[in-house]
Structure 1
Amino acid sequence: MFGLANPQRFMAFTRPLVPLLWAAAGVLLALGAWFSFTAPEDYQQGDTVRIMFVHVPAATLGLGAYAALGVSSFFALVFRHALADAAARAAALPGAAFTLLALITGSLWGKPMWGTWWVWDARLTSVFILFLFYLGYMALRAAIDDEARAARSAAVLGLVGLINLPIVRFSVDWWNTLHQRASLIRADGPSIDGAFLPALLTMMAAYGALFLALWITGIRTEVDRRRVVAARARAAAGA
């Protein structure tokens, strides 16, 4: 793993990996969509239950992407590692997209189930704050012209945002919320009906492969961009 911290080794290792991840994501998304549409209706939610197959993976990857951003920010800030900074930057946009998708699909599910599009309960509010951290991270990087200063400032914000992750995860256990408790990852096993598990697990695997494909592609693109910038700087200095 630490050998891949070298940008040249990372680029060589991930070159054949990226198309495999994109292919896996495409196949899993197609399979997950088929499972989702062929799953039975829920006895209470009816066809609305199918929103869960998009919402739950999106929310999970929104959290996972920020964890990747935060850990990468730590290595970038403490060890001043350029590849770690590239990894943090590459995780921001897909993580924000997954989190926004979770917020939208949660609202679409909440209206027929709860009778309202939105409530400021602990889970919904903490996920919205997570989305704001993503936006703040990207805005901070864009607002500072000096790339080194932008990286350090954004890394600090990325680390601060990690505090919100356990709040999102355990908010339904710590407070009384309208949002239901976890039904998939539980100490006593999943409480969700087995008829919905193939669709949900396949979609979660598909979203995971999609995030890895987006993330690694983003890191590779950032490495290439920095190489071009460095080459132009050397050429300007030589001129």
Structure 2
Amino acid sequence: MKDLALLEDNAPKPGLWTQIAHPGLFLGWSRHLIVPLAVITAALAAWGLYLSFWGSPPDYQMGDTVRIMYVHVPAAWLSQFCYAVMFASAIGTLVWRHPMADVSQKAAAPLGAAFTLLALFTGSLWGRPTWGTFWEWDGRMTSTLVLLFIYLGIIALWRAFDDQLKAARFVSVVTLVGAINIPVIKFSVDWWQTLHQPASVIRLDGPTIAPEILIPLLVMTAAFSMLFLTLHLVRMRTEVIKRRIRSLELAAARAAAGGAL
């Protein structure tokens, strides 16, 4: 534990950009955010669940099954937002060589896969009583399944390399190429015949959902977003510490080998 504390405190206190970029300084300032973010996440989730179950009415067509939407829609949105974070991090890795960009990429991939899997699962549960089928190979379902496979492939690619800096370059290229699937998911309801309805929240003419349904949906989306932010920060911290420990182990091994000679 003493070594980890030194990792967090062994650097000077320069400007904001350097504090974000320097792994040691990142460990220092980010540790103070974990608990507040977790508290905000729990409060939003509790409020959102209350509104979802007791603050919103059943749908006049779908009844109480509409409440699945309060988990499905935020999970689907986060599945794409996680990839947007990875896309920005990939650019940071390839263009600016940002020291924390590949850490952000690696930390976001399992979270994106989890949100995508949750979106597919809840969508199937919602689809059975609504459409009469658990699965339909329409544009949005299929492209979201492709997104899950992309996430799994990226996770596997990270694990295929011992040198994480070398892996970051390959993963960044794959991430940029895979980003073509995001607009396909977004516009699939416009391009092809699908069971999914067009956009009803983010529209130029305003949301088309009743306020008593829209407000719980927005609160749950905020809760899921804060959950991602909290877990992403925790995973980034864990990845930095793992890399630091690995560097110390390699340095100790080289020193031991040199001493033996």
TM over 0.5: yes
In the alignment, structure 1 residue 63 sits paired with structure 2 residue 80: yes
- Alignment partners' CA distance in 1, 2:155 and 2:239: 14
2:192 to 175, 180, 190: 175
Instruction: Establish whether residue 19 from structure 1 lines up as the match of residue 73 from structure 2.
Output: no
* Residue identity matched to 2:200: S
- Contact kept? 1:70, 1:161, Cα under 8 Å: no
1:162 partnered with 2:179: yes
CA distance, structure 2, for counterparts of residue 7 and residue 140 of structure 1: 23
C-alpha distance in 1 between matches for 2:158 and 2:59: 44
Equivalent residues of 1:36, 1:50 under 8 A apart = yes
Query: Does the 8 A contact of 2:22 with 2:99 survive in 1?
Result: no
Separation in structure 2 between the aligned mates of residue 25 and residue 182 of structure 1, nearest angstrom: 26
Indicate if the aligned counterparts of 1:121 and 1:177 stay in contact, CA closer than 8 A: yes
What does 1:51-130 correspond to in 2, within 5 Å?
51-130=68-147
Question: What is residue 46 of structure 2 aligned with on the other side?
Answer: 30
Normalized against structure 1, the TM-score is what?
0.96
* CA-CA distance at 1:31 after TM superposition: 1.0
Provide the residue aligned with 2:7 in structure 1.
none
AA paired with 1:25?
A: T
Measure how far apart 1:143 and its partner are: 2.3
Cα distance in 2 between the residues matched to 1:179 and 1:198: 21
CA offsets, 1:87-121, max 9 Å, x none? Answer: 00000111110010000111111111111111111
Q: Which has the larger radius of gyration?
A: 2
8 Å CA contact retained: 2:127, 2:135: yes
- The answer on whether the counterparts of 2:127 and 2:134 sit within 8 Å (CA) in structure 1 is yes
CA distance in 1, matches of 2:243, 2:253: 15
Task: Give identity over the alignment, percent.
Answer: 51
Question: CA–CA distance in 1 between the matches of 2:28 and 2:220?
Answer: 29
Q: Which moved more, 1:139-148 or 1:101-110?
A: 139-148
- Per mean C-alpha deviation after superposition, the further-off stretch among 40-49 and 72-81 is 72-81
Q: Distance in 2 between matches of 1:80 and 1:179?
A: 40
Match in the other structure for 1:198: 215
**Cα distance, 1:203–1:173 mapped onto 2, change above 3 Å:** same
- Residue 143 (1) aligns with residue 156 (2): no
| 1:211-235 superposed Cα distances (whole Å, 9 cap, x missing partner) | 0000011001100111101111111
- 2:24 aligned partner, one-letter code: Q
1:46 pairs, out of 37, 40, 63, with: 63
Decide which of 225, 233, 236 is 2:242's aligned counterpart: 225
What is the distance in 2 between the residues matched to 1:148 and 1:65?
A: 21
Where does the alignment leave 5 or more consecutive residues of structure 2 unmatched? 1-15, 257-261
AA in 1 matched with 2:35? P
- Which whole-Å CA distance do the structure 2 matches of 1:145 and 1:17 have between them? 30
Structure 1 spans left out of the alignment, 5+ residues: none
Which deviations, in whole Å up to 9, do the C-alpha atoms of 1:112-135 show, x marking residues without a partner? 111111111111111111111100
Aligned counterpart in structure 2 of residue 2 of structure 1, from 17, 26, 33: 17
Q: Deviations over 1:42-92 (max 9, x none)?
A: 100100100000000000001000110121122123333331111000001
